[in-house]
Amino acid sequence: MEVDEKASYKQKLDVLKEQEELIEDEAEQEHKEEEARRQKKAADERARREEEARMAKSLLPDSELQTEPIVEEAPDARMTTEQLGELGEALSVLSARSSVLKERRELRALMEENLAADEDPSAPSDPLAKKIRAMLGKLDKQLEAYDAKVGSSLQIVKLDPHGKTF
């Protein structure tokens, strides 16, 4: 009986070693899979940032795109009033809920002017005014569609109710 017991202990030991190896292999496989998920997530994040950068670059006018590196000539970093104004406009666009807020205001003003001119009893009914009104309506619908598509994706700067960033 002693030989059988030794053999059974040896078999049990072998089975335990195999199970331990299987557990180690499984842990290694899980580690590899987790690492692959992390790398994929990082690659997806880089691709998303690159796509956002391309989208932002495509929205900028050609005059704003810079082809040569900035060389800091003056040690004084003060901004001119024109630069401050441009910075203020850029910040208002980045903090706006709608990416086409300024354009919508201008379009509404044009539409109101057109309606006021149409309601003027001294002005004759003009087919040109009707055509302009139709074009303004189309522009309004296009702005609405664009705003729905892009929405607040350009709202990079978040403001609290007091107008301060957080």
Rounded to whole angstroms, what are the CA distances from 14 to 17, 18, 33?
5, 6, 28
Collapse the DSSP code of 126 into the 3-class scheme (helix H, G, I; strand E, B; otherwise coil) and give the result.
coil
**For the chain, what's the residue count?**
166
What is the pTM assigned to this prediction?
0.33
Residues near 150 by beta carbon (within 8 Å), at least 6 away in sequence? 99, 100
The 10s digit of each residue's pLDDT in 94-150 is 665 566 767 778 888 888 887 777 776 666 667 777 788 888 888 888 888 887 777
- Mutual orientation of helices 127-150 and 101-119 as an angle, nearest 10°? 160
Sign of the CA dihedral with 30 first, then 36, 42, and 48 last: negative
Q: Is 36 a residue whose pLDDT tops 90?
A: yes
Q: Is the pLDDT of residue 166 over 60?
A: no
Helix (H, G, I), strand (E, B) or coil at 129: helix
- 57-104 pLDDT, tens per residue? 777 666 666 655 555 555 567 778 888 888 877 776 666 556 676 777
